[in-house]
Amino acid sequence: MENTQLTIPAVREYFEFHYPYVNMGYIEDKTIENFMKRDYIKDLDNDRKLDCLYDYIVSQGLTEVNE
């Protein structure tokens, strides 16, 4: 994924394709936005940002994961 500004729909689409077992319907847009603005995240490339978001969602138990 090229390193451009990520939109919420792009994040949700990425998760739908790469992590279909993660129910993003329970994650509020504001949660995603706040995570992406973190200092240690914002300078990463987009694939890494999204991997970190996945780790955050799973580690915090923010949604159901049905692997």
Query: Using one digit for the tens of pLDDT, what is the confidence trace for 5-48?
Result: 889 999 999 999 999 999 999 899 999 999 999 999 988 999 99
Per-residue pLDDT at 34: 95
The confidence score (pLDDT) of residue 1 equals 60
Total domain count, the chain:
1
Residue numbers of the domain that contains 41: 10-59
**5 within a domain of the structure (yes/no):** no
Residue 1 lies in a domain: no
Confidence of residue 2 (pLDDT cuts 50, 70, 90): low
Q: What is the pLDDT of residue 47?
A: 93
- pLDDT confidence of residue 64: 78
In a domain, 66, yes or no: no
Q: If you write DSSP's letter for every residue of 9-61 in order, what string do you get?
A: HHHHHHHHHH-TTB-GGGS-HHHHHHHHTSHHHHTS-HHHHHHHHHHHHHHTT
Nearest Cα to 54, choosing from 39, 36, 37, 42? Answer: 36
Distance CA 24, CA 21 (A): 9
